Structure 1
Amino acid sequence: SLYHLVSTFIGILLTFSPMHFLGFNVMPRRIPDFPDSFHSWNFLSSIGSGITFFSFAI
Structure 2
Amino acid sequence: MARFDEVKNLIMSLEGDFDKFYNKQNQAAGTRVRKGMQELKTLAQDIRSEVQNMKNDEK
The TM-score bracket by the shorter chain reads 0.5 to 0.7
- Post-superposition offset of 1:27: 1.2
Find the aligned partners of 1:48 and 1:21 in 2 and give their Cα distance.
Answer: 15
- Post-superposition offset of 1:56: 0.9
- Post-superposition offset of 1:37: 2.8
Find the aligned partners of 1:54 and 1:27 in 2 and give their Cα distance.
Answer: 28
Find the aligned partners of 2:9 and 2:50 in 1 and give their Cα distance.
Answer: 18
Q: Which has the higher contact order (CA 8 A, sep 6+)?
A: 1
**Over alpha carbons, which structure has the higher Rg?**
2
Q: Which residue of 2 aligns with 1:4?
A: none
The SS at the match of 2:18 is: coil
User: Are 2:39 and 1:52 equivalent residues in the alignment?
Assistant: no
Cα RMSD, aligned residues only = 2.5
Aligned length: 44
Quickly say closer, same or farther: Cα 1:41–1:26, change in 2 above 3 A: closer
Could you state the TM-score of these two structures normalised by the residue count of structure 2?
0.54
Matched AA of 1:41: G
